[in-house]
Amino acid sequence: MESSLVVLHDAQTVLHRSVELIAHNVIDALESPDRIHRIVKTLQSKQWHWLTFLDITIQETDWKPIPDNIHGSKYIQHLKTIFERFLRENAVDEDGCVLPECFPHRLLLTAGNGDSDMTSDDVPLPVDPFAHLGYYSFDLSSGISKETFRSAMVAANLGIIGVDKLLAQMAQDPAQPSQPLFCLTRPPGHHACHSLAGGYCYINNAAVAADYLVSKLPKERSTPIGSRVVILDLDFHHGNGTQSIFYTRKEPAYISIHGENAYPYYTGRSSETGSGEGQGFNRNLPLKLRPESTRDDYLLKLDTALGVIKEEWSAQYLVISMGFDTFRLDPLGGFELDIDDYAEIGRRISALGLPALALLEGGYSDELGELVSSFLSGLHR
């Protein structure tokens, strides 16, 4: 029987909703439930024989815990409980959304100990619930609504289930090239750090999946050089969270193509190459925005990244943080990619011949469904 590319979906991912500030206006966040609806509708209309759409419901009792090396347990507990606390204190309506108030990062440096190397664990958590959101966020685009935690946990678990399915498929038929999987993860994850939400992200789905994948591989290092698991981040924005979580690790390695000097502004330079054991296993390939770059420049950078993954790192598995905000009409992006370019990106990744798990990150245009379809049509084997 011909195997097919699996798309993993759980409708609980559309429960989360948030707002954001555009200049002085509060609007529904561009990272909306409708993004998933657009993708599901378009994929279903294609009726492709090579695509299996798996609609599952991950029960809370089956949620895998998030490991402490990916996200702090206090941070996870905060995400789980903070909305209920606002409700209890009548600070938000049942269908409302709360944003952070005060960010500690630079303010701490003014407290008379600017030279100290205080880590977040040394900074006492304030009692005020509004302060909690600022303590555990780095920007204002990570509001919390009633079901935010549920959607975020379900998204992370979609990635874990994706890894299990990928490995099961390989064990079942080792001779067959494995089919990629695509997880409809929402909210996205690549901006989320160990104990910080931001950029529409709460739990770093790709980090959870890649760490879980590494944990499933043999303990003895089969490759003394290189990294068996690589996260390829193709969202328009730099995945600062994924980079920071794995900065001192060689497995998984991290490589990203993203808009130069764009959001999140302070990370993603080519000089950030990892440290300690992770030295050389973090690679940033920033690309100038249009009109200073074209689709050809993008595809050249992609080939560079794929070369590093295959030749330099001898990767055996690929986890792809797949954003579609690189599209030329995306409201948050600045690249030139057109619909068909995503099929080309999929083909070039597929040509590596590596088992691959792709997770949805950003992508905010009306054409999101067509972009995902195009990507999958090139990715499937």
Q: Supply 298's token pair.
A: 């993008």
Nearer CB in complex with ligand SP5: 167/208: 208
Taking the C-alpha atoms of residue 307 and residue 296, their distance in angstroms, rounded to an integer, is: 16
Q: Which of 16, 191, 258, 380 is catalytic?
A: 191
Taking the C-alpha atoms of residue 150 and residue 14, their distance in angstroms, rounded to an integer, is: 10
Residues 6 or more apart whose CB falls under 8 angstroms from that of 378 comprise 342, 343, 344, 345, 346, 347, 348, 349, 350
Q: Supply 138's token pair.
A: 């780095």
**Least CB distance to ligand SP5 at residue 114 (A):** 28
Residue at 329: amino acid letter = L
**Least CB distance to Zn ion at residue 200 (A):** 8
Contact set with ligand SP5 (CB under 6 A): 141, 188, 191, 199-201, 235, 237, 263, 323, 325, 332, 361-362
CA 128 to chain centre: 30
Binding of Zn ion at residue 362 (CB under 5 A)? yes
**Least CB distance to ligand SP5 at residue 271 (A):** 23
CA 105 to chain centre: 23
Taking the C-alpha atoms of residue 116 and residue 136, their distance in angstroms, rounded to an integer, is: 20
Taking the C-alpha atoms of residue 372 and residue 342, their distance in angstroms, rounded to an integer, is: 8
**CB-closest chain residue to ligand SP5:** 362
Binding of Zn ion at residue 17 (CB under 5 A)? no
Asked if 380 is an active-site residue, the reply is: no
- Binding at 9: pick from ligand SP5, Zn ion, none (beta carbon under 5-8 Å per type): none
**CB-closest chain residue to Zn ion:** 362
Nearer CB in complex with ligand SP5: 29/214: 29
Of 47, 49, 55, nearest to 3 by C-alpha is 49
**Least CB distance to ligand SP5 at residue 311 (A):** 29
Nearer CB in complex with ligand SP5: 235/367: 235
- Binding at 188: pick from Zn ion, ligand SP5, none (beta carbon under 5-8 Å per type): ligand SP5
Q: Pick the binder of Zn ion from 139, 211, 325, 344 (CB under 5 A).
A: 325
Residue at 242: amino acid letter = T
Footprint of Zn ion (CB under 5 A): 235-237, 323, 325, 362
Residues classed as catalytic: 191
